[in-house]
Amino acid sequence: MALRYDLGEVITAMVTPFDKEKSVDYTSLEKISKHLINQSTDAIVVAGTTGESPTLTHEEEHEILYCVKSTVSGQCKVIMGAGSNSTDTAVASSKKAQELGADAILSVVPYYNKPSQQGLKEHFGAIAKSVDLPIILYNIPGRSVIDMAPETIAFLAKEYPNIVAVKQSNPNLDLISEIRMLAPDDFAIYSGDDSLTLPMLALGAYGVVSVASHVVGKEIKSMIHNFKSGQVIPASNMHKILYPLFKKIFMAPNPTPIKALLSKMGLMENFVRRPLVELDEQARLELLECLNEVLSKTENK
């Protein structure tokens, strides 16, 4: 069965580059956007966690969306991080994303105020009724404390046709099986963790919302395509090659490591906004060494 809305298999949760004054660096933003297209990204998430959304103003989020949309010029979809732990704010942000031409929105489980499952149904229901855009639910209990239950995800998928997918950032793989059994077949499941992409594919996931795809997007796309075409051993071999990098880019709070790598590649300066802090030079060199080792192995595949 076809998906109710296909956002692609490799969605990159994009960084927000800053200059030395910690202002958004729009020149580097354009450069990274073009780089991601060359890395086989199907869609880009702007103003998500990897984009340091907690430190962005709404005005910056809107400018970032406009810049990336203009740069990619239809070559890939652009998804706006429009979630909030206030339902009214999430609705307003979703409406603004639609007004500004986002292709879809990513909406996170409300954090800090710890709503019930009924509260989650009402929160996401209000968002879904406020816009026509496709919505990806974002379940990440490590950051939001609350875990959205498979039954809640399935309810939302059945009740609201524009809730089209979930980004599942929970390492409990049994939950993937439960979502797949309860939700409609045309509802997409995305891994929210690079290292769990392959096992989640085996349980019915469609793709990944990735951080590593900033630097190994083509390789991740190859792994997914091999698995879906029945080439399980090549897919497994690629997973094993990429796995050390998948873990290394979370050696410090995201997006600090991936920004350090992108700076070493000359795509941006190595700045994050506080309270995050930049990696030191030794850690940056270790990351670059890991990436180069991974890429040298993929060249032989």
Q: Do residues 109 and 146 lie in contact, with contact meaning Cβ atoms separated by under 8 Å? A: yes
Q: Is residue 168 one of the residues assigned to a domain?
A: yes
SS3 249: coil
Distance of alpha carbon 246 from alpha carbon 255, whole angstroms: 13
Residue range(s) defining the domain that contains residue 46: 10-216
Sequence-distant (≥ 6) Cβ neighbours of residue 237 within 8 angstroms = 301
SS3 3: coil
pLDDT at 299: 82
The yes-or-no answer on residue 160 being catalytic is no
Write the CA distances from 37 to 215, 260, 269, 283, integer angstroms.
11, 20, 20, 27
pTM: 0.97
Distance of alpha carbon 91 from alpha carbon 122, whole angstroms: 12
Distance of alpha carbon 17 from alpha carbon 46, whole angstroms: 11
What angle (nearest 5°) sits at the alpha carbon of residue 11, between those of residues 235 and 163? Answer: 115
Backbone phi and psi for residue 20, each to the nearest 5 degrees, phi listed first: -65, -20
Which of 258, 255, 260, 250 has the alpha carbon at shortest distance from 282? 260
Q: Is residue 53 one of the residues assigned to a domain?
A: yes
pLDDT at 266: 96
Give the sign of the dihedral formed by CA 179, CA 173, CA 124, CA 82: negative
Distance of alpha carbon 132 from alpha carbon 105, whole angstroms: 10
Residue 153: give its domain's CATH number: 3.20.20.70
Q: Is residue 63 one of the residues assigned to a domain?
A: yes
Q: Is residue 132 one of the residues assigned to a domain?
A: yes
Write the CA distances from 143 to 41, 80, 94, 169, integer angstroms.
25, 19, 21, 10
DSSP H/E element including 208: strand 207-210
The full DSSP string for 105-125 is: EEEEPPPSS---HHHHHHHHH
Distance of alpha carbon 231 from alpha carbon 234, whole angstroms: 6
Q: Is residue 154 one of the residues assigned to a domain?
A: yes
pLDDT at 249: 97
Q: Is residue 181 one of the residues assigned to a domain?
A: yes
| pLDDT (tens place) for every residue of the chain, 301 residues total | 699 999 999 999 999 999 999 999 999 999 999 999 999 999 999 999 999 999 999 999 999 999 999 999 999 999 999 999 999 999 999 999 999 999 999 999 999 999 999 999 999 999 999 999 999 999 999 999 999 999 999 999 999 999 999 999 999 999 999 999 999 999 999 999 999 999 999 999 999 999 999 999 999 999 999 999 999 999 999 999 999 999 999 999 999 999 999 999 999 999 999 999 999 999 999 999 999 999 999 986 6
Which of 197, 219, 209, 210 has the alpha carbon at shortest distance from 294? 219
Structure tokens at 35: 């780089």
What angle (nearest 5°) sits at the alpha carbon of residue 237, between those of residues 222 and 259? Answer: 60
Q: Is residue 117 one of the residues assigned to a domain?
A: yes
Distance of alpha carbon 184 from alpha carbon 127, whole angstroms: 20
Q: Is residue 26 one of the residues assigned to a domain?
A: yes
Instruction: Please tell me which residue in 96, 167, 248, 259 is annotated as part of the active site.
Output: 167
Token pair 């400018």: residue: 63
Instruction: Please tell me which residue in 5, 138, 190, 206 is annotated as part of the active site.
Output: 138
Distance of alpha carbon 150 from alpha carbon 192, whole angstroms: 15
Residue 300: how many other CB atoms lie within 10 Å: 6
Distance of alpha carbon 17 from alpha carbon 26, whole angstroms: 8
Which of 214, 259, 212, 261 has the alpha carbon at shortest distance from 238? 212
pLDDT at 168: 98
The yes-or-no answer on residue 240 being catalytic is no
Q: For the chain, how many structural domains are there in total?
A: 1
pLDDT at 5: 97
Structure tokens at 136: 């990806």
pLDDT at 49: 96
